[in-house]
Chain A
Amino acid sequence: MSRAVAGPEIERLIQLLGRMPGLGPRSARRATLHLIKKRETLMAPLALALQDVLGKIVECQVCGNVDVRDPCTVCTDIHREAGVIVVVAEVADLWALERANAINAKYHVLGGVLSPLDGVGPDDLNLGKLVARVQAGGLDEVILALGATVDAQTTAHYITDLLRDSGVKVTRLAHGVPVGGELDHLDEGTLSAAIRARTTL
């Protein structure tokens, strides 16, 4: 058993940082040492920012996004196309689409996908509010931006069924060759999806 090299407060900080995605115990120690070295310029502002966000963070009651205001920044943005909703599984997917600047629409965050293995059923997802938003009218299209996994696509089919009688166009993302992808490096499933989804030039 290794001996503690610092007081319990510092050890606790290392432990907590080690729980972050992408950080293990060694990198948590490095991050802690870095914070200690930069106490004034990094540690104090970080502590304040964490405290600030912790006190203000809320889930948007419209779309399920997380923000410090409700409705969130995305929902209140009047420059976004109001007739299109992009349905994503997680907030990380919303951020990824925004990072790509791929579409100027509003979003709806499900909070996961249907997964019998993990015990996630329709009641565990943010589906009721999606149906309510569609029923409220004013929408032209719902884009199901869900992953290319069986669970995600089962969720997409489930949502399509829910919205079938709404009269709103329901679309989903294409599956196939990624930009910059070389065919001989692609997995068989992606190649097969790309062949099926081929388009006429």
Chain B
Amino acid sequence: MEWTDEGIVLGVRRHGESGAIVELMTRARGRHAGLVRGGASRRLAALLQPGNTLHAVWRARIESQLGLMVVEPVTLRSDGLMRSAHGSFGVTYLTTLLRLLPERDPHPGLFATLDAILDAFEAPAAAGELLARFEVALLAELGFGLDLTRCAATGGNNDLAFVSPKSGRAVSRAAGDPYADKLFPLPTFLIGGIVPPSLADMEDALRMTGHFLATRVLEPRGLSVPDARAGFLAALRREMAPGAGAR
């Protein structure tokens, strides 16, 4: 058995004295692990950091084996990501979320989304927006997609302003106003709005996606929201605070 693909490093664990077991989010084969010989060496350890995109060749005698992986760098981002608090917490959180996917189950859309997100993740303003979009995409991939295209009450697609915490469907301003305190605000950047989101918009979006991730994905599996998410949000607030110099 042999395949060649691109993959984003999700995690790495030492194996013996010099090897490492690396877990990649591959373009065509989903989450896939393999043993990298010499993975603990100085050269390879720098490549095998979460967030880096690698070219990987995987070989095994039979498909169910862990297999050996040979990797080469494609895009090395981990250094840039680990320099900032939002980058470190963000990539830790993203890789933790991706471990919710079953192994070797292809999710090419999610790979492309993750690759694009990580490319733009160094700027805090972009990171908050992209993380919210990623959570929406992940919910959809896991079968709990939100319907943000039309109003759950009227069926129309104008002036969508809220999301129902029960159904995950959008609600128009007219229909939702009387229940505004029970609904999540729907930031326009999640439905194609062109105005760059403010910190408040991002917090609204992440509060909403966080609710659905917790209640529909994590809690049924007996999991809690990863600590890194709170760390990411705190860093985002700090780095985007007036005078912090974030753009």
Please list the residues of chain A having a beta carbon within 8 angstroms of any beta carbon in chain B: 21-22, 114, 116-118, 121-122, 148-151, 153-154, 156-158, 160-161, 175, 187-190, 192-193, 196
Q: Is the CB of B96 within 8 A of A116?
A: yes
Per-residue A-contact encoding for B88-107, CB less than 8 Å = 1, 0 else = 11011001100100000000
- In the complex, the chain B residue whose C-beta lies closest to that of A21 is B17
- In the complex, the chain B residue whose C-beta lies closest to that of A175 is B79
Shortest Cβ gap from B246 to chain A (Å)? 15
Interface of A is mostly: helix
- In the complex, the chain B residue whose C-beta lies closest to that of A152 is B82
- In the complex, the chain A residue whose C-beta lies closest to that of B23 is A117
Q: Is the CB of A157 within 8 A of B235?
A: yes
Q: Does B43 contact A (CB under 8 A)?
A: yes
User: Given the complex of chains A and B, what is the CA–CA distance between A149 and B13 in angstroms?
Assistant: 12
Q: Is the CB of A117 within 8 A of B13?
A: yes
Interface size, B (range): 35 or more
Q: Is the CB of A187 within 8 A of B85?
A: no
Q: Is the CB of A161 within 8 A of B49?
A: no
Q: Which 3 A-B pairs have the closest CB atoms?
A: A153-B82, A117-B11, A189-B46
Q: Which of B79, B91, B226 is close to A192, meaning CB atoms less than 8 Å apart?
A: B79
**With known contacts A116-B95, A117-B11, A157–B79 Cβ distance under 8 A:** no
Most A CB contacts (10 A, CB to CB) among B13, B47, B88 go to B88
- In the complex, the chain A residue whose C-beta lies closest to that of B52 is A189
Write 12 A-B pairs (CB below 8 A) sorted by A numbering: A116-B228, A117-B10, A117-B11, A117-B12, A121-B227, A149-B82, A150-B81, A154-B82, A154-B231, A161-B85, A161-B234, A188-B46
- In the complex, the chain B residue whose C-beta lies closest to that of A197 is B83
Shortest Cβ gap from A92 to chain B (Å)? 13
